[in-house]
């Protein structure tokens, strides 16, 4: 559990924008949560990485940051913990190494997926087959913020443990 009592407030203050925003759904909102605002702030990112590291299972051998938002968080967690990190593309690139999982060999390793914000888990569901195809054993997911309904979890992968540093209301979960 985080020993940083002001982190949730500071994340919300950095990332909550007011104005007129077109959402992916096509609706207009007067507030927008821009997660890249806290991912790009070194002090906040360090504090968030520390809070998320408290959720990492002891058997974890590799952190796997999902493109795009999971990459800076996994990197910060790696720097703070010494655990190696790899990076998961949305699809294998068509040139060079032609890999979907970059940064090192994951074969036979116990891998924890790292994501910034999860609402439905679609990006996780897309990444899992890519990481497994690379030979990894996925032991779970850790995210900064769970925005979905109910307890953190991926509906299409109910056996995959999901741990969240914060919930949609940006409170400690």
122 is in an annotated binding site: yes
118 is in an annotated binding site: yes
6 is in an annotated binding site: no
- Return the closest-CA partner of residue 87 out of 75, 72, 69, 102: 102
123 is in an annotated binding site: yes
110 is in an annotated binding site: no
120 is in an annotated binding site: yes
* Cα–Cα separations (whole angstroms), residue 138 to 13, 56, 59, 161, 169: 33, 13, 11, 10, 28
49 is in an annotated binding site: no
35 is in an annotated binding site: no
148 is in an annotated binding site: no
103 is in an annotated binding site: no
Other C-beta atoms closer than 10 Å to the C-beta of 84 total: 15
145 is in an annotated binding site: no
24 is in an annotated binding site: yes
- Return the closest-CA partner of residue 142 out of 12, 52, 30, 40: 52
Locate 31 and state its tokens.
Answer: 């507030």
CA distance 33 to 169: 11
Which residues are annotated as part of the binding site for 5-phospho-alpha-D-ribose 1-diphosphate? Answer: 24, 89-90, 93, 115-123
Which residues are annotated as part of the binding site for orotate? Answer: 119, 147
Which residues are annotated as part of the binding site? Answer: 24, 89-90, 93, 115-123, 147
């Amino acid at each position: 559990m985080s020993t940083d009592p002001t982190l949730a407030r500071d994340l919300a203050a950095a990332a909550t924008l007011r104005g007129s925003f077109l959402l992916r759904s096509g609706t207009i909102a007067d507030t927008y949560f821009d997660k890249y605002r806290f991912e790009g702030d070194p002090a906040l990112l360090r504090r968030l990485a520390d809070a998320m590291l408290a959720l990492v299972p002891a058997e974890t051998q590799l952190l796997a940051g999902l493109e795009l938002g999971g990459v800076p968080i996994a990197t910060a967690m790696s720097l703070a913990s010494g655990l190696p990190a790899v990076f998961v593309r949305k699809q294998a690139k068509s040139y060079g190494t032609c890999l979907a999982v970059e940064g090192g060999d994951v074969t036979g390793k116990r891998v924890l997926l790292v994501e910034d914000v999860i609402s439905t888990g679609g990006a996780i569901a897309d990444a899992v087959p890519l990481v497994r195809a690379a030979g990894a054993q996925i032991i779970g997911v850790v995210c900064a913020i769970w925005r979905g309904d109910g307890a953190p979890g991926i509906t299409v992968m109910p056996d995959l443990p999901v741990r969240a540093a914060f919930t949609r209301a940006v409170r400690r979960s």
